[in-house]
Amino acid sequence: MGSRQGLAIIGLIVALLAASCGGSSEEPEPSGGDTATTTTTGSTDTSTTAPDNATNTTQAPPASASETSATVTIDGVDYHFGDNRPGDTCSPDFFGGFFAVLGGEDFEGNFSVELWNEGTGGGTDVSNASLKMEVNGETLDLEANPENSWPAAEAGTSFVDPFTYEGNTASGTIAFINEEVAYNADLAPLDPIVADFTVTCADG
């Protein structure tokens, strides 16, 4: 081998070694590089749900009353009754029913009502009412009982319905028949006299 050829081969080998030992063309990532870091932060719901007051089933206590009173309204006119006589009474828990007998002022007239919800009392008790007074010189002797009948009014014509009683108060509607004329068959069929009523028994 000539000296020139040998030098060429040695130069080639050196070049190859230099190439193999050279750094990569890609630059290394810096240790503090812009590597994206994702941090997951739990989302905590700090909202507070207000209590649902619509589901509150607590019943308000019955209204207190210092005096027993009743109001009966007929044709828009109010007639007032109360504990005005020795025999007047108002019992909001009468064997499960509601019972009141009350007098008008100056002992003018009286109003009584006996109410029974279904299943109360003896199971056969019938709600009924009566009202006796004088209006504009006319005597009214009003009765309401679905079991009563007269020549001018069939059974079921008079009644107390609808009505409600809770605590010391009762209210409702009454269909009265005036007994002053109910025995006159010539007047059949009599239309009932409709009245609204409210009764409140005094506490104690």
pLDDT tens, position by position, 126-140: 999 999 999 888 889
**Residue 120 confidence class, pLDDT cut points 50, 70, 90:** confident
- Tell me which residue has tokens 């504009």: 136
Confidence grade of residue 43 (pLDDT, cut at 50, 70, 90)? very low
Residue 39 in any domain: the answer is no
At residue 119 the predicted structure's pLDDT band, cuts being 50, 70 and 90, is confident
Question: Rounded to the nearest 5°, which phi and psi values hold at 142?
Answer: -95, 135
pLDDT given at position 108: 82
Separation of alpha carbons 104 and 193, rounded Å: 19
SS3 (DSSP) at 204: coil
Percent of the chain past pLDDT 90, that is, above it, reads 56
Residue 109 counted as domain residue: yes
Q: What is the token pair recorded at 152?
A: 């001018």
In a domain, 10, yes or no: no
Identify the helix (H) or strand (E) that includes residue 71. Answer: strand 69-74
Which structural domain range is residue 132 located in?
A: 63-200
Three-class DSSP category at 68: coil
pLDDT at residue number 64: 60
pLDDT above 50 (res 187)? yes
16-25, 95-104, 148-157 — which is least confidently predicted?
Answer: 16-25
Model confidence, pTM: 0.68
pLDDT of residue 135: 87
User: How would residue 176 be classed by pLDDT, with cut points 50, 70 and 90?
Assistant: very high
Mean pLDDT of 32-46: 41
Distance CA 196, CA 164 (A): 12
Token digits of residue 200: 């409140």
161 occurs within a structural domain: yes
Q: Torsion angle, CA of 138/143/148/153, rounded to 10 degrees?
A: 40
Instruction: Name the 3-class secondary structure at 15.
Output: helix
Residue that wins the pLDDT comparison between 71 and 53: 71
How confident is the model at residue 38, as a pLDDT?
38
Query: pLDDT-based confidence at 175, cuts 50/70/90?
Result: very high
The span from the CA of 47 to the CA of 188, in Å, is: 71
Of 129, 123, 202, which Cα lies nearest the Cα of 163? Answer: 129
The answer to whether position 6 is within a domain reads no
pLDDT at 184 over 90: yes
Q: Rounded to whole angstroms, how far apart are CA atoms 70 and 201?
A: 9
Q: How many domains does the chain have?
A: 1
Residue 136 lies in a domain: yes
Q: Residue 9: inside a domain, yes or no?
A: no
Is 79 part of any domain?
yes
Query: What's residue 50's pLDDT?
Result: 36
Of residues 50 and 152, which shows the higher confidence score?
A: 152
Q: What is the DSSP letter of 22?
A: S
Q: 196, 73 in Cβ contact below 8 A?
A: yes
Does the structure show a pLDDT above 80 at 20?
no
